[in-house]
Amino acid sequence: MDSGLSRKIGEGNDVKFWSENWLGSGTLKDKFGRLFCLSTQQHHTVNQMGTWVNGSWLWELHWRRILLDRENIMVTELLNSISSCTLSEGVLDDWIWTKEEGGHFSVKSAYLLLQGEVSEPDNQCFRKLWAVKAPSNVLALAWKVFLNRIQSKVNLSRRGILLDPSQILCPFCAQAEETTTHLIFTCIHSWHVWHRVLQWLGISTVLPEEGKNHFLSFQDSYNARDRKKGMSFIWLSTVWFLWHLRNSIIFQGEVADFSLALDTIQFKSWLWLKGKAKGFYFSSYEWASNPLICLGSL
């Protein structure tokens, strides 16, 4: 039943920073175990992990020793994870039930959870994915990302294929384990790729870390229904780029070069839109220069 519960942050006085699920994607203790071991604030509440300065909340994390370079990268990932949370002075912390849209508990959803029948953002997400007229192998890759079924190093390790801990490090940063979420969304290099894509689109937002929620939030970054179709192509081309760069590094010995990331994503998404989307007649230059006008034509 605990998997259906999450904390809704108010002031953060009653929620444990490391050991409670207040971001909706698991505890920080589980996701950043190494940093938890190094923290001098293991039993602090969220409110005790920072301070208000001129009306703005600033995180203050303290460690038992000076951090190594790879640990500082993990801290950056941690800060990226918690940056979407805004504390509210004078508002009490609360519980929410994640298996209902309104956050309210229902016996039916609890029963389905116990029966193992509740999927995460589920049917809506998969319907939207299969509605995109992208190449089938691209859609299949996204489907595997949603279900954590790509051949990431951690997944291979769990199947007994990779046994040496040094073999399961991310090929981009070589600091954290290569999980699906880390490789595609939270690695500092992957995060910068997504940030550049958002800048190109003129969007300022914080995206969730989990694959299905990330896809839905990215697609909904524009409220206009016509633009959501094109946003899906951009999301898919970004995932495709990161996965293929990873494979090139591992299997072909290439260097992790992100300098052409945005150009590649722009061209790939333009190519798919040109071939698959009705009413899309723009040149690659027009697409790269003004994606909003192009998206409005769909």
CA distance 189 to 56: 27
What pTM does this model have? 0.62
CA distance 8 to 23: 8
Average pLDDT over residues 16-41: 84
Answer yes or no: is pLDDT of 100 > 50. yes
CA distance 71 to 67: 6
pLDDT tens for each residue of 67-96: 988 788 888 888 888 887 778 777 887 666
Q: Residue 115 has what pLDDT?
A: 54
Q: 103 or 192: which carries more pLDDT confidence?
A: 192
* Cα–Cα nearest to 273, from 289, 242, 297, 290: 297
pLDDT tens for each residue of 127-147: 888 888 899 899 999 999 998
- Torsion sign (Cα): 128, 268, 81, 60: negative
Q: Residue 23 has what pLDDT?
A: 79
**Residue pair 177/166 in contact by the 8 Å Cβ criterion:** no
Q: Residue 155 has what pLDDT?
A: 86
Task: Give the max Cα distance, the chain.
Answer: 59
Q: 222 or 175: which carries more pLDDT confidence?
A: 175
pLDDT tens for each residue of 169-199: 999 999 899 999 999 999 999 999 999 999 9
Answer yes or no: is pLDDT of 4 > 70. no
Average pLDDT over residues 270-286: 89
Q: Residue 118 has what pLDDT?
A: 44
Answer yes or no: is pLDDT of 111 > 60. no
Q: Tokens 């290569």 label which residue?
A: 178
Q: Residue 99 has what pLDDT?
A: 57
Average pLDDT over residues 241-268: 94
Half-sphere exposure of 264 (CA within 13 A, CB side): 17
CA distance 217 to 202: 15
pLDDT tens for each residue of 30-74: 788 888 889 999 999 999 999 888 878 889 999 999 998 878 888
* Cα–Cα nearest to 122, from 42, 215, 32, 209: 215
**Residue pair 46/17 in contact by the 8 Å Cβ criterion:** yes
Answer yes or no: is pLDDT of 1 > 60. no
- Torsion sign (Cα): 17, 19, 21, 25: positive
The residue ranges of every structural domain in the chain are 1-118, 122-295
CA distance 97 to 105: 5
